[in-house]
Chain A
Amino acid sequence: MKRIYAREEYCVGCRLCEIFCVVGHSKSKDIIKTYKKEPDRPAPRVAVWEDGPLSFAFQCRHCDQPSCVEACITGALSKNEEGTVLCNEDKCVGCWTCITVCPFGAIQREEGEKKKIVKCNLCSGEPEPYCVSHCPNRAIVYEERGVE
């Protein structure tokens, strides 16, 4: 399946991917409305890790045998036919069991008091994930690399 891969050589740590991830998961999908008007701004599903000159964007790997799905105590997590691992946020109770088993540290939490996880859904329905299409440096790519 197509997955998102980081190219750390090109990442400057600008975090535009995080911002556009938020936009892509907002109600309006409009950057101004998302940040200025809409209540309940979603948390980014992608995180930029940074240490000096090294930085890269990271999100769910959409594992073939996802530990998170196995472990979820509510059935909120599932893997669909295309292979995307999705979270039904209505069902999530914020027990963090999935965070405890995700071997990549790829799961984020909703902001504020809301006890829910958020995770990358590859921007289901979009031709290309928001983070990928909005990175000015092509430091994140969306590619079919198969199983190595």
Chain B
Amino acid sequence: MKYVIIGNSAASVGAVEGIRKVDPEGIITVISEESYPAYSRPLISYYLAGKVKEEDMYIRDPDFYENNRVELLLDKKVSRIEPEQNTVKLEEGQSIEYDRLLLASGSSPFLPPIKGIEKQEYHFFNYFDDIKEIQQKIQLNQVTRPLIIGAGLVGMKAAEAISLLGLPVTVIELGPHILGSILSDVPARMVQRKMEEHGVRFIFEKTVKEITWGEELQGVVLSDGQGVLTDLLIVAAGVRPRIELVEELPLSKNQGVKVNEYMQTDLENIYAAGDVAEGWDLLQEENRVIPIWPGAYRQGHVAGMNMAGLKTKDSGGFAVNSIGFFGFSIITAGVFEAREGNEEILCREEPDSYLQLVFRDNRLLGFIKLGEVGQAGIFTWLIKEGIDCNSFKEKILRPGFCLLDLPEELRRDRMRGGETIESPGCA
């Protein structure tokens, strides 16, 4: 059996480990346009801030590829998939045959339409090489006024890292508050205050319309005509699934590539996993891209086992995020807004912490937890299992909620380790 994997990140590593659980023999080829063994994308901001050294960026030991008998092709870009011939073609012309193909190409940064941007210098904050370029500029003392477009997860991680290097960061955000994909207004303001205390400045409800004049200092013109000067422009305006390789192929796709519960696309031998795939969202009950690291690994792992012939269903997932800025933790999962009449929100707000729980018919649908960490996974488990929380709802809101607060039967199940001592993947 010949396995080919496009991409070499979370989903790809998951797939290699999934394949090898089932098939010790088949030939695995992993192709990456990047020049590194699998590294942690979430760690690139840690690297820039000097918190993690290059050798600690890699998510597996150096002998990972050898031990798993993987042929790793770095600096090679796949330019076409040819399903009739069962081959992928590299940019430089070489063809590689597959019996099973995994598309684990992830996502790429979105460049919003800004007049004049093609003539100016800007950086993304997505790949290791992006960060190395930014690092070099900063080390050469070429940066005094960094400007970030976008206050989403990536933009905020960039803002924190650059601010930790002692630079005054400005962030421009189209929406009314930061982290719009995971936080509602009140908690977002709390996090914003924490960031402002560390010198990060925010401009909301504005876009960058145009970039003018050049060389060392660039001028950025905002939608209200206001001008901002910068010598380091970072674009963090969201990501898009990298479906370019399957654009022409006869398989369903919306934002990402649609997959079934075996992570298979409409073409039998082609699988997809990670940021590029629309897997099952347990809460929204639809196929959707959920661009998070744990989900990418889980989907890749399931894809790998199926590719190797062990039928394994993916349990589906939902958004789960844990990030922090300047030591202030932000943990969220599921949904954060109540929509229908049967949905209910419980909240506890203190000066340095915040907890919000969303229930539908007494089942937890999502939470936002700021400034507190302990046992957050129990919330995630309540969401995933759809457990009726009616009898202990108020206890969940208390600080220090733990197994003790569960009804006896549930508590005993947890103490035993769940019925099967298995926790099907969470994220």
A96-B373, A100-B322 in contact; A50/B404 too (CB < 8 A)? yes
Interface-lining segment among B55-63, B75-83, B348-356:
B55-63
Contact between A90 and B423 (Cβ–Cβ < 8 Å)?
no
Residue among B331, B405, B415, B424 making CB contact with A96, cutoff 8 Å: B331
CB contacts (< 8 Å) of B374 on chain A: these are 99, 105, 109
**A70 within 8 Å of B (CB atoms):** yes
Which of B169-177, B277-285, B290-298 is the contact stretch? Answer: B290-298
Distance (whole angstroms) from the CB of A64 to the closest CB of chain B = 4
Which residues of B sit under 8 angstroms from A63, Cβ to Cβ? 417-418, 421-423
Whether B427 and A103, one on each chain, are in contact in the complex, defined by CB atoms closer than 8 angstroms, is no
Measured in the bound complex, the distance between the Cα atoms of B380 and A45 in whole Å is 21
List A15-71 residues whose CB lies under 8 Å from chain B: 49-51, 54, 56, 58, 61-67, 70-71
Question: What's the minimum C-beta distance from A131 to chain B, rounded to whole angstroms?
Answer: 15
Verify A3–B427 contact, CB threshold 8 A: no
Complex Cα spacing A139 to B401, Å: 23
Contact: B415 with A147, CB < 8 Å?
Answer: no
User: CA separation between A5 and B321, bound complex, in Å?
Assistant: 30
Instruction: Assess whether B301 is in contact with A70, with CB atoms less than 8 Å apart.
Output: yes
Tell me the interface secondary structure of chain B in the complex: mixed
A136 within 8 Å of B by Cβ?
no
Q: List 28 A-B contacts (CB under 8 A).
A: A3-B417, A56-B415, A58-B415, A62-B417, A63-B417, A63-B423, A64-B421, A67-B294, A67-B423, A70-B426, A70-B427, A71-B293, A71-B320, A71-B427, A73-B40, A75-B60, A99-B375, A99-B376, A100-B320, A100-B321, A100-B331, A100-B333, A101-B380, A103-B380, A104-B418, A147-B420, A148-B416, A148-B420
Chain B's nearest CB lies how many Å from the CB of A3?
7
Asked if A102 is at the interface (CB within 8 A of a chain B CB), the reply is yes
Task: Say whether B109 faces chain A, with CB atoms less than 8 Å apart.
Answer: no
List residues 384-404 of chain B with CB under 8 A from any CB of chain A. 384, 402-404
CA distance A73 to B296 in the complex (A): 11
Least CB separation from A105: chain B residue: B375
CB-based contact B420/A99 at 8 Å: no
Is B381 a contact partner of A103 (Cβ separation < 8 A)?
Answer: yes
| Residues of A that sit less than 8 Å from B by CB | 3, 5-6, 8, 49-51, 54, 56, 58, 61-67, 70-71, 73-75, 90-91, 93, 95-105, 107, 109, 115, 147-148
* Separation of A90 and B405 alpha carbons in the complex (Å): 34
Kindly list chain B residues whose C-beta atoms are within 8 Å of the C-beta of A49. 402-404
Chain A residues contacting B402 (CB-CB under 8 Å) are 49, 105
Q: Is the CB of B373 within 8 A of A101?
A: no
B24 to chain A, nearest CB (A): 15
A84 to chain B, nearest CB (A): 13
A99-B421 in contact (CB<8A): no
Q: Which residues of A contact B426 (CB under 8 A)?
A: 67, 70-71, 101, 103
Candidates A5, A91, A105; contact of B403 at CB < 8 Å: A105
Extra A-B contacts (5), CB below 8 Å, given A96-B373, A103-B380, A104-B423: A3-B417, A61-B417, A75-B58, A105-B377, A148-B419
Of B40, B323, B423, the residue contacting A74 (CB under 8 A) is: B40
Interface members, chain B 211-254 (any A CB < 8 Å): none
